[in-house]
Structure formats: C-alpha cells, structure tokens
Amino acid sequence: RGFNVYFATMGELVQLLKSEEYLNKSKVQLKRIRNADLVIIDDLMYMAMDQREANLFFHLINHLYERSSIILTSNKSPDEWGNLIGDQGITTAILDRLLHRVEVIHGGEEERSHRMKNRKSIFSADV
C-alpha cells in the first residue's frame, strides 16, 4: 500500500545508533528508520542500556514521535525500564513519548514467550 515499514530488534537498533557517526551503512539504515511510516522494535528493554545508548535511543524516539507509528514488543513492563536504562529522567522522557496516544496489548504472564507456548510438551514428563 505504499507505506515504508522498518523492523529491527533492540540489539540491532542500539548497534546502529552507536555506529551511526562512523559507519555509512548505519547512517543509511537509520535514515530509513527515521523516514519510515511504521517502525517495529522487537525485544525492547531486553538488556540494560548504558547512558550513551539511552541518550541515542531517546533522540531516535523523540524524532519518530508524532512522525511515525511505532510498534514495540517487550517482556518488561514500563515500570521496569528505569532500572534497565539507569536514568529516571531519560526513562520518563522516552515513556512520555511512547505512551502518548498508545494502544497497549498485554499478552499476560502465560504469554511471555510465544515461542515456547506451543512447545510445552517438550518439557513435560509425558514423553
């Protein structure tokens, strides 16, 4: 339908952000992300961020805010993000932009891993 969509895992995105200033490939990819109509970020807050990574991520989210639609997947609730980012101010600024006019779809505790959902039989004693 003519929409530009970009998908990246959080790990891939952080590496792109950290290398943008010296790798042309990262610059090109981030330009695509910044110009996308929809950005999908998988495994958000899977790992802790250092101060520089958190600042870079904030600037990307700030740029995308009200320009693009964003879909995020995460096994962590927003109240856990402060510990992973390590800076409550940046965490609040990121959440402020992400949660404005948001639709949250919560999979519930039993849905934390959709990959394992259909594989429970592997671990059962009835083999």
- The 10s digit of each residue's pLDDT in 34-55 is 999 999 999 888 888 899 999 9
Question: How many domains does one find in the chain?
Answer: 1
The more confidently predicted of residues 38 and 76 is 38
What CATH number did the domain enclosing 88 receive?
Answer: 3.40.50.300
Domain of residue 86, residue span: 5-123
Mean pLDDT within 6-16: 96
Helices (H), 1-127: 10-19, 24-35, 51-64, 78-85, 88-99, 114-117, 120-123
Contact 8, 26 (CB under 8 A): no
pLDDT confidence band for 76 (50 / 70 / 90): confident
Q: What is the pTM of this model?
A: 0.80
